[in-house]
Chain A
Amino acid sequence: GQNIDQPTEMTATEGAIVQINCTYQTSGFNGLFWYQQHAGEAPTFLSYNVLDGLEEKGRFSSFLSRSKGYSYLLLKELQMKDSASYLCAVMDSNYQLIWGAGTKLIIKP
């Protein structure tokens, strides 16, 4: 079956760095997406990785290792507004997105 695993909840301190991991097993691979979702709102796109390595975009970076079926989202210089759920999703061979359950990130002052 297809499976995306990510931690349910994480807590970090304002100004610190946090890494949210995602492991996957899917039928085929056409890229991995990270989305941010604030409570009561729709998800917003953060990043897309299809090749191995690190993609940096401001305070956010995303890493992919296809051989390990592993990705992480790295958030630096955490701000209170970064408190949200972070969703990992993999596009399978049918171009369908397989969604993880999301990681709720709590930022403390």
Chain B
Amino acid sequence: GAVVSQHPSRVICKSGTSVKIECRSLDFQATTMFWYRQFPKQSLMLMATSNEGSKATYEQGVEKDKFLINHASLTLSTLTVTSAHPEDSSFYICSARTGGLEEQYFGPGTRLTVT
């Protein structure tokens, strides 16, 4: 149980375009979903926390107008990288949690390359 999927797994896009990444909890309802970014050889960096039906809470330094997060249902959250630039190239990972003290279940990640 507790499977989280992400789509796409890899995406290459041109500078200036937008990319949408989907995160789904397949066999449980996720009250909270998290979006992380990880650069090579670095640890996870939390970008934002989203609760179903409410606006996402962004971490300091993360531009909310650039990284649009929508958590429309208890099983789906999306991250849209708008006007992507090469420096946005990274490994984006989502995770989901059912309650306050539960572990986070991670999706497989999306590798974004902006050319």
Question: How far is the CB of A104 from the nearest CB of chain B, in Å?
Answer: 8
How many residues on the B side are at the interface (Cβ–Cβ under 8 A)? 18
Given A41-B109, A42-B93, A42-B108, A101 and B43 touching (CB < 8 A)?
Answer: yes
Question: How far is the CB of B47 from the nearest CB of chain A, in Å?
Answer: 12
User: Is the Cβ of B105 less than 8 Å from the Cβ of A41?
Assistant: no
Given A43-B44, A101-B42, A95 and B101 touching (CB < 8 A)?
Answer: yes
B100 within 8 A of A: yes
Contact of A44 among B49, B101, B106, B111 (CB under 8 A): B106
User: Is the Cβ of A42 less than 8 Å from the Cβ of B103?
Assistant: no
Count: A-B pairs, CB below 8 Å: 40
Question: How far is the CB of B59 from the nearest CB of chain A, in Å?
Answer: 10
The SS class assigned to the A binding surface is: loop
The SS class assigned to the B binding surface is: loop
Q: CB-defined interface of B77-115 with A at 8 Å, one 1/0 digit per residue?
A: 000000000000001010000001101111111010000
Give the nearest-CB partner of A91 in chain B: B101
Bound Cα distance A48, B101 (Å): 10
User: Which residue numbers of A lie inside 8 Å of B, CB to CB?
Assistant: 30-31, 33, 35, 40-45, 48, 50, 87, 91, 95-97, 99-102
Could you show 9 A-B contacts with beta carbons less than 8 Å apart? A42-B106, A43-B44, A43-B93, A45-B103, A48-B103, A50-B101, A95-B100, A96-B49, A97-B34
